Amino acid sequence: MKRILSGIQPSGTLTLGNYFGALKNWVKIQHEYECMYFIADLHSITVTQAPNNLRENTKKAVMQYIACGLDPEINTIFVQSHVHEHAELAWVLNNSAYMGELSRMTQFKDKSKSQKEDAIKVGLFDYPVLMAADILLYDPDLVPVGQDQRQHLEIARVIARRFNNQYGKEIFKIPDGYIAETGAKIMSLQDPLKKMSKSDANPNGFISLLDDRDTIIKKFKKAVTDSENIVRYSDEQPGIKNLINIYSCVTEKTPKEIEKEFESVGYGNFKMAVGEVVADCLLKIQTKYDELNKPENEGMLRNIYEKGANRAEEIASKKLREVYDTVGFVVR
């Protein structure tokens, strides 16, 4: 069975973008692949996090993974910091990565551009190397990532090849990206040219998986559109295009069918309709989530990420040992 690996940062509550861009698809493929999904808490501290929020968000993310339909019996679900090999391999790989290539990464440039050179965190700069370690520890065949993470996957492949060449051994498998057949990039409701993000300063820009119906409808009502008032799927109307994509993800109707359905309806009614279907869809997830979130289920939850960490560690420790031996460390 081919192996898949991916992760999401717990830097806030998961959003509709995480669901349609990643989680929904992970659920679909969980029976076809051996899947490893983790919460990237090590990555999240490259942007300042309040400790208690980070702790809560990490636990919530585990529950949300399961509430969205990932079966912990057949998937390995774990927390990145529980498997210390990630940080250790990143240190080794730091010596197979160059300052030049890291400083040219789009995400690094975006996240650091508003900061003074003196105050840019080394962790932010080194982020892609840690991500390479996450991936290369497990020899996955495929790594599902969104468009914005493509460059990071590419540099992981470069680092892997460079390491293999330096030591003359195929230590790391070169993973491929995994492109989902369905699903769409969900954009911010306030700025439809930007990806929907949980770290958006304006909470109206994103739908949290845990937002209640009223909040969801309110946010869709406020969604930024244009003045055409015609529900049409076009790049010239990015706000409406995004809403059509969201409606399409929930209902599995095509944009053409949706244009027809809302032909003579103004934006106001269309926005309401999108809000309603999204609220219905999230209600199912929230019902499961509320169940998992009960105090009596805390032990069960801990067991899930314990079991996940043990399984991950089994694979990761073997790989790290091989790497240590290869670079010439005395292996104990």
Binding site for ligand TRP (CB under 6 A): 5-9, 40, 43, 131, 134-135, 143, 145, 149, 152
Nearest residue (CB) to ligand TRP, 15 versus 149: 149
Catalytic residue among 24, 60, 195, 319: 195
Tell me the closest approach of the beta carbon of residue 289 to ligand TRP, in angstroms. 21
Active site residue 288: no
For ligand TRP, give the closer residue by CB, 112 or 215: 112
Q: How far is the CB of 61 from ligand TRP (least distance, A)?
A: 12
Cβ 91 to ligand TRP shortest distance, Å: 16
* Annotated catalytic residue within 111, 185, 253, 288: 111
> Is 111 marked active-site?
yes
Q: Which is nearer to ligand TRP, 91 or 329 (CB)?
A: 91
Nearer to ligand TRP among residue 8 and residue 70 (C-beta): 8
Give min distance, CB of 231 to ligand TRP, in A.
31
Among residues 24, 59, 60, 198, the one annotated as catalytic is 198
Indicate the Cα dihedral angle 81, 86, 91, 92, nearest 10°: 170
Residue 45 beta carbon to ligand TRP: minimum distance, rounded to whole angstroms: 12
The residue among 47 and 277 lying less far from ligand TRP, judged by its C-beta, is 47
Annotated catalytic, 218?
no
- List the catalytic residues: 111, 195, 198
